Amino acid sequence: MEELQKAFDRCSQYGEKSEVKIDPRLAACAAFLRGKPLADIGTDHAYLPAALAKSGRIPRAIASDIAQGPLNAAEKTLRAYGVESLVELRKCDGLSGFLPGEAQDIVIAGMGGELIVKILSQAPWLKTGAYRLVLQPMTQEPVLRRWLFENGFALLSEEAVLSGGKVYTVLCAEWRGENTQPASPGFFHAGLVDPGTPAGAQYFEKVRRRLRKMLRGAEIREDGKKASEIRGILNEMKQKEAEAPK
pLDDT one-digit tens code per residue, 160-196: 999 999 999 999 999 998 777 778 889 999 999 999 9
Q: Say whether both 14 and 72 belong to one domain.
A: yes
**d(C-alpha 186, C-alpha 172), whole Å:** 18
The pTM of the full predicted model, rounded to 2 decimals, is 0.90
Q: Say whether both 121 and 229 belong to one domain.
A: no
Of residues 65, 87, 69, the one with CA closest to residue 78:
87
Of residues 143, 135, 200, 140, the one with CA closest to residue 174:
135
CATH for 101:
3.40.50.150
Residue 13 has pLDDT above 90, yes or no: no
Q: Say whether both 176 and 106 belong to one domain.
A: yes
Q: Say whether both 157 and 174 belong to one domain.
A: yes
Q: Say whether both 138 and 228 belong to one domain.
A: no
- Domain residues for 33? 2-183
Q: Say whether both 45 and 154 belong to one domain.
A: yes
Q: Say whether both 151 and 241 belong to one domain.
A: no
Bridge partners, residue 161, by sequence = 168
Residue 21: pLDDT band (50, 70, 90) is low
User: Which of 183, 205, 234 is the last residue before a domain boundary?
Assistant: 183
DSSP strand E in the chain: where? 38-41, 61-65, 87-91, 105-111, 132-137, 153-163, 166-175
Measured in whole angstroms, the distance separating CA 233 from the mean position of its chain's CA atoms is 23
User: Which of 144, 168, 183 is the last residue before a domain boundary?
Assistant: 183
8-state DSSP, 179? -
Q: Say whether both 204 and 110 belong to one domain.
A: no
Of residues 59, 16, 17, 18, the one with CA closest to residue 36:
59
Q: Say whether both 19 and 132 belong to one domain.
A: yes
Q: Say whether both 46 and 163 belong to one domain.
A: yes
Domains held by the chain: number = 2
Model pLDDT, residue 68: 96
Quote the mean pLDDT of the chain: 91
Q: Say whether both 125 and 97 belong to one domain.
A: yes
Residue 18 has pLDDT above 70, yes or no: no
145-154 residue pLDDT tens: 999 999 999 9
Q: Say whether both 225 and 109 belong to one domain.
A: no
Model pLDDT, residue 216: 96
